[in-house]
């Protein structure tokens, strides 16, 4: 579904992403792991078009998306959860989801009061709210949610956006162990429904438990890739995580 070929992006002397290549298979959960600053978020930003690569290629469903803008990759069906929270605090959770599902946002802003959403989209929002366990606080202002509730609402937002491919940047960073478990179950459920997911995560247990394939970055380079089982015992990975 997605193929990254020799992707490179430097920031001055920092080799954030350095000749990085890997593939993502449809219907699977692929995890991108690596120490702090190893280039994970930069890879996401290159795929989605937030950043431009110095060189290399990205193919999505066989289409070259290397030089596309965020809007173009989004229209092709790439949806993402950001590492930093991005909900509109003064809007309710439901309104945040409406903003994501309705491509024509201007229509929403102009008619905030009395805004009518298509029945089909309303049903989709309710279905995803249920799936992500946020039904109880759909009408709360986003700024009044707990950290964990915000994270769930943001996952829901990434899901309601029409998409073929989902990128999640640290969905469980800072969340409590019970919610961590709930989100891991959610990811497995999503996979069963046919979602293709690229996941960035620091929590090794979480990652190895949910993913089909793991790609390990260190200083912008892919130092290993394989099944969770292969990664767990790979000496290069152990050194990157535990070394010096
Ligand atoms: N916009 C930028 N300008 C300058 N340097 C940047 C920029 N974005 C990232 N970097 C640098 O590139 C390197 C990779 O950063 P990146 O955010 O991709 O790492 P990461 O693997 O996501 O880290 P973390 O696990 O902490 O989220 C780091 O050294 C970072 O400081
Ligand atoms: Mg990051």
Tens of pLDDT, residues 59-68: 999 999 999 9
Find the 14 Cα to ligand 1 centroid distance in Å. 9
- The pick from 38, 82, 169 for probing ligand 1's pocket by mutation, whose C-beta has the most ligand atoms within 8 angstroms, reads 38
Q: Which residue, judged by its Cα, is nearest atom 30 of ligand 1? A: 37
pLDDT in tens, 9-63: 999 989 999 999 999 999 999 999 998 999 999 999 999 999 999 999 999 999 9
Are 173 and 83 contacting, i.e. CB atoms less than 8 angstroms apart?
yes
Q: CB neighbours (10 Å) of residue 54?
A: 14
State which residues have CB under 5 angstroms from ligand 2, the bound ion: 40-41, 83
Residues 192-212 have a mean pLDDT of 92
Query: To 10 degrees, what angle do helices 93-101 and 119-131 make?
Result: 120
Structure token digits, residue 212: 């089909």
Chain centroid offset of residue 147 CA: 17
Q: What is the pLDDT of residues 206-217, one digit of tens each?
A: 899 999 999 999
- Least confident window among 15-29, 32-46, 110-124, 222-236: 110-124
Q: 220 falls in which pLDDT band (50, 70, 90)?
A: very high
How far is the C-alpha of 20 from the C-alpha of 43, rounded, in Å? Answer: 9
Structural domains of the chain in order of their starting residue, each with its CATH number: 1-77+163-244 (3.40.50.300), 87-160 (no CATH)
Provide the H-helix boundaries in the chain.
40-48, 70-76, 93-101, 105-110, 119-131, 147-160, 177-192, 204-210, 228-232, 235-242
**Residue 120: per-residue pLDDT:** 86
- Per-residue tokens: 198: 């690229």
Q: Is 28 helix (H, G, I), strand (E, B) or coil?
A: coil
Of 27-31, 117-121, 177-181, 182-186, which gets the smallest average pLDDT? 117-121
Range with the lowest mean pLDDT among 19-23, 85-89, 149-153, 220-224? 85-89
Instruction: Name the closest-CA residue to atom 26, ligand 1.
Output: 36
Residue 111 confidence (pLDDT) above 70: no
Q: What is the arithmetic mean of pLDDT over 196-212?
A: 91
Q: What percent of the chain shows pLDDT beyond 70?
A: 93
């Amino acid at each position: 579904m997605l193929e990254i070929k020799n992707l490179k992006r430097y920031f001055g002397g920092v080799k954030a992403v350095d000749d990085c290549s890997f593939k993502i298979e449809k219907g699977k959960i692929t995890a991108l792991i690596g120490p702090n600053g190893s280039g994970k978020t930069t890879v996401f930003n290159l795929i989605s078009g937030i950043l431009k690569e110095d060189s290399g290629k990205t193919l999505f469903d066989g289409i070259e998306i290397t030089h596309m803008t965020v809007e173009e990759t989004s229209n092709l069906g790439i949806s993402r959860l950001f590492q930093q929270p991005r909900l509109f605090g003064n809007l309710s959770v439901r309104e945040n989801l409406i903003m994501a599902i309705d491509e024509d946002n201007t229509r929403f802003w102009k008619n905030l009061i009395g805004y009518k959403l298509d029945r089909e989209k309303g049903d989709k929002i309710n279905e995803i709210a249920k799936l992500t366990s946020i039904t109880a606080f759909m009408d709360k202002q986003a700024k009044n949610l707990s950290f964990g509730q915000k994270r769930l609402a943001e996952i829901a937002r990434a899901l309601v956006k029409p998409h073929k491919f989902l990128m999640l940047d640290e969905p469980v960073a800072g969340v409590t162990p019970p919610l961590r478990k709930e989100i891991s179950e959610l990811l497995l459920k999503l996979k069963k429904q046919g979602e293709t997911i690229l996941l960035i995560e620091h929590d090794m247990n979480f990652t190895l438990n949910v993913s089909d394939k793991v790609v390990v970055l260190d200083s912008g380079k892919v130092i290993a890739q394989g099944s969770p089982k292969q990664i767990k015992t790979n000496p290069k990975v152990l050194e990157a995580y535990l070394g010096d």
